[in-house]
Amino acid sequence: MNRPLEGIRVLDLTQAYSGPFCTMNLADHGAEVIKIERPGSGDQTRGWGPMKNDYSGYYAYINRNKKGITLNLASEEGKKIFRELVKTADVVCENYKVGVLEKLGFSYDVLKEINPRIIYGSISGFGLEGPLASRPCYDIVAQAMSGMMSVTGFADGPPCKIGPSIADNYSGAYLCMGILMALYEREKTGVGRRVDVAMVDTLFSVMENFVVEYTIAGKTPHRAGNQDPSIAPFDSFRAKDGEFVMGCGTDKMFAGLCSAMGRNDLIENPLYKTNLARCENYLTSLKPIIEEWTQTKTIKELEEIITKLAIPFGVILTIPEAAEHPQLQSRNMLWNVYQKGMDTEIRIPGTPIKIHGEEDKVQKGAPLLGEDNELVYSSLLGMTKQEIDELYVKEII
């Protein structure tokens, strides 16, 4: 049961979320990811909650399946060691502020001189070019400057951040895809590539129809709560005992819903006959008609009626409800792993990429700071225990 990326070695200079999310996905599917951290402190997420025995659950989730070493890249000896590691690697990943790695002497041009096959993947807030390239960035900044916050929330409320840090994980996923493309090309050319992903670019690219509403129709998209601006009905609705969501993406779905409601008269009504007409009249009349019906029934009753019509339907679950739901459990979306530092078994989200024939389980917990120093420095660079001990004394590792 081999993993697809076995034999690929990644030097992981990333921290926080976006870069580690990319390298986590590579590690999940067999790549040997060597996470390189600053001696003494390590990745900033080692201090992010939830904490158990002073060990971060955040770090544990996003750095599973990786080896961990420490290395001071600001020192000349540390730089020399990194150059030797680059000679053995396939990929280098980083998400420093633009220019940091170059100042340390490790631009892409330098790295490809050391190893012409190296693939250099980087994530930044704004990319390598442009007036804002040098600025630092967190997810909330990318959500704000991509336009995403302006269309998230309710019309009578303020712009709103989407809950999880989607600029980070989406950028990490894009970088992962770019690296895989570069690895595929290298099989044909023998030469590596520079892969550059920006968080603001990423969110701007996933705005679905919002951008083309502006570029093609000349409109400025606005916040509309859970309503979809291009499909109706496609929203959250009140039931007798709570709220649920559904979406009617076709005229056939809408006709089925009308029949279930006992309102066949709505099917040919000019106000609702086409999707465009339904969108135009949704808030003023269609949603109130639907909710007048849904509020007479429980969520369970509505689920039975609506799913039988093949209309997409969902209960609005809490995180605990989602985590324990039979569907996610059947998909093995929570992995059990023994985590050093916490000294206990924990549950963390699994991979959504199910490759048939690949074992769908965690390989190891996240590394303690410098856990694999002796293993990596001895096996890859041939260092003796005495040489490694001297590096500790000089605070190189």
Question: Which positions are catalytic?
Answer: 168
Residue 19: name the closest of 139, 182, 132 by CA: 139
- What is the distance between the alpha carbons of residues 321 and 190, in angstroms, rounded to a whole number? 48
Please name the residues in contact with 115: beta carbons below 8 A apart, sequence gap of 6 or more: 86, 87, 89, 192
Q: Residue 285 class from Cβ within 10 Å (0-12 exposed, 13-18 middle, 19+ buried)?
A: middle
DSSP classification of residue 48? P
HSE-CB of 315 using CA atoms within 13 angstroms: 16
CA 253 – CA 157 distance, rounded (Å): 31
- Report d(CA 113, CA 307) in Å as an integer: 59
Q: How far apart are CA 364 and CA 373, in angstroms?
A: 16
Alpha helices in 4-161 (DSSP H): 18-28, 57-62, 76-88, 100-103, 108-114, 139-145
Distance between CA atoms of 201 and 255, rounded to whole angstroms? 39
State which amino acid sits at residue 81.
I
